[in-house]
Homo-oligomer: A and B are copies of this chain.
Amino acid sequence: MKITKKRLAHIVFESDDWASKTFDIVLLFLIFGSILVSILDSVASIRASYGQLFLYLEWVFTALFTLEYVLRIWLSRKPNGYIFSFYGVVDLLAILPSYVSFFVLNSQLLAVVRALRLLRVIRILKLGRYVSEAEYLQRSLRASTHKIMIFIGFVVTIVLIMGTLMFIIEGPEHGFTSIPVGMYWAIVTLTTVGFGDITPSTPLGQFVSSIIMLLGYAIIAVPTGIVSSEMASQRKKMDAPKLVTCPNCGKDDLRPGDNFCGNCGIKMH
């Protein structure tokens, strides 16, 4: 059997027959495998035993993903379109650090590059290709993005003012060493995360904190309200009754129960 370039492109880019589905499944296993290796390699006790194996596996994965990357460029009709697309960049970032670590001799820089190799966990984003159903969520989120951005701007304003206020009230002796630290604390508090690594100790600081918390409690409702009303609206669009087209004038948004076309007046039933 001779595999033409066209056939190969079909295997790589589609997933509707035996060969192309196998290609996708093998790729899925490779992605999960490489992520698993990255995670296990970060656990000191496991690396002590299997570090050498993980190094071999890493190069196997890198070689295979490089092959995939080269194939995709070669088989694309518009290679530039792929290279600069979101998944193209993800594919490149997933293999680049391994190669860079090969050419770096400076030991300090090498440590940084080694750390960056862990970034290959971003390969998980390649899974996005296989989850078509996430689209519904994405659409809802994208429709709310603009309002959520304004909301976050509003939150950042509160955070800046509250962080400064707490820096003035509590001061470095209670852990609020600078305005950025105060802002970090304000975000931790306003989002109700509340690590407790920095906490107010003066009565005035505790009073102001209480105000911030009640404020955060009240405004946490805002993004929820935005997304909820956005989703309810999208659901209504889907639930809405199918519209009827007039056979005479072609107006396409008539209601099923109408007796006459609202546009040209022809009788419809």
Query: Which residues from chain A sit less than 8 Å from chain B, CB to CB?
Result: 35, 38-39, 42-44, 115-116, 118-119, 121-122, 124-125, 127, 131, 133-134, 136-137, 140-141, 146-148, 150-155, 157, 160-161, 164, 167-168, 172, 177-184, 187-197, 199, 203, 206-207, 209-210, 213-214, 216-233, 235, 239, 245, 249-265, 267, 269
Contact among B196, B252, B265 with A196 in the assembled complex (CB-CB below 8 Å): B196
Q: Across the two chains, which residue of chain B brings its CB closest to A159?
A: B210
- Secondary structure type dominating chain A contacts: helix
Contact among B39, B197, B216 with A199 in the assembled complex (CB-CB below 8 Å): B197
By a CB distance below 8 angstroms, the chain B residues around A225 are 140, 221, 224, 227-228, 230-232
Q: How many angstroms between the C-alpha atoms of A141 and B151 in the bound complex?
A: 11
20 A-B pairs in the complex with CB atoms less than 8 angstroms apart: A38-B164, A38-B179, A39-B178, A42-B182, A116-B168, A121-B160, A121-B161, A122-B161, A125-B157, A137-B151, A152-B218, A184-B209, A184-B210, A187-B210, A190-B217, A218-B223, A224-B225, A225-B228, A260-B264, A260-B265
By a CB distance below 8 angstroms, the chain B residues around A239 are 233
